[in-house]
Structure 1
Amino acid sequence: MTRIWNEAGFQSDDPWVIETEETKAGNNEKPILPLATFLEKAEAGETNLGVLILPADNVRALAPYLDRIALVAVSFPAFNDGRSFSHASLLRERLGFEGEIRAVGDVLIDPIPLMLRCGISSFAVTNATALKRLEEGKLPGIDNHYQPTARASTDAKSYSWRRVS
């Protein structure tokens, strides 16, 4: 079972469905479209769309259509494939996307704090351990980071090069 989590907790009424050949969005649901399908619909002028970005996709293709996107789902097909961290960072830092970015696929508990730092704002979680830890409010992580991030530092005394300005 997939549950949607963000920093406010688990969401009970999420309307988004990743469309595939077998799965289509029904009534009161919104489709998350593959990149090629999204680009066709966006070019035709449709708005309020969801798009699925796979690790090998070119996230920069979304640049002309950012005002038409309601949700970007970045795919983590395996725990050892981190290309979607880069997609989220590009969307936030270089393209200026302010909407919802959702991690989908193999979402485990340990990388969630790092995903948040890259600008991912919601998570489609199926892993039993991750679900349990999120229900308990237990996120792993460390307090000190050396790299800049899409998310501003809350520590005003930290080094300026560690914060987003």
Structure 2
Amino acid sequence: MTKIWNEAGFVSDDPWVIESEDTKAGSNEKAILSLDGFLSAISESDASDLGVLINPADDVMRLGPCLDRIALVAVAFPAFSDGRSFSHASLLRSRLGYEGELRAVGDVLIDQIPLMLRCGVDSFAVTNATAIKRLSEGRLPGISTHYQPAAKPSANINSYSWRRVS
């Protein structure tokens, strides 16, 4: 079972569905398409009700010209050891200026959620039972002081993330 979580808590009626050959969005749902599928769809119509799935091997820079028309970008974490989507999230927020919803999907583990938040991810499709339990208890792990900058500004004014903005 997949649950959607953001910093406000669990979301009950999330309309987004990652489309595949077997799964299609219904009438009250919104489709998340592959990068190539999304770029084909946007050339034919408006993308304001579409989402796009960025896999680790995808070139996120291809979204640059149409980011202001995308409602949701989902970055895929297919395995806990594949960190390329951290870079995708950071590029989307910092370099490309994406301001819409950025969702982590796939192997979302509790230990990685604070790092994903720092990269600019703001919602999570969580399937891991331990992560769901800890999030429902409000037990998010993390380190209170960071030395490196992040896509999401630090709430702690004593951290060092202000030293460099890139």
SS at match of 1:123: strand
CA drift at 1:144: 1.2
Q: Which runs of 5+ in 2 are unaligned?
A: none
Aligned length in residues: 164
TM-score (normalizing by structure 1): 0.96
Deviation of 1:41 (Å): 1.2
CA RMSD of aligned residues (A): 1.2
Deviation per residue, 1:43-66 (Å, 9 max, x gap)? 223221200000000000000011
Q: 2:95 is matched by which residue type in structure 1?
A: R
Residue in 1 that maps onto 2:108: 107
| AA at the equivalent of 2:136 | E
Higher mean C-alpha displacement, 151-160 vs 59-68: 151-160
Instruction: Give the match for residue 161 of structure 1.
Output: 163
CA distance in 2, matches of 1:115, 1:12: 21
Per the alignment, in what secondary structure is the counterpart of residue 17 of structure 1?
strand
CA distance in 2, matches of 1:43, 1:145: 41
Where do residues 4-83 of structure 1 align in structure 2 (5 Å cutoff)? Answer: 4-48=4-48, 49-83=50-84
Give 5+ residue unaligned stretches, structure 1: none
- Percent identity over the alignment is 72
1:15 maps to a residue whose letter is: P
Which SS does the other structure have where 2:31 is aligned?
strand
TM-fit CA distance, 1:147: 1.0
> Could you give the per-residue CA deviations for residues 48-86 of structure 1, whole angstroms, max 9, x where no partner exists?
120000000000000001122000000000000000000
- 1:130 equivalent in structure 2: 131
Question: How far 1:158 sits from its partner (Å)?
Answer: 3.4
Instruction: Give distance in 1, aligned partners of 2:111 and 2:126.
Output: 12
User: Helix, strand or coil: the match of 1:43?
Assistant: helix
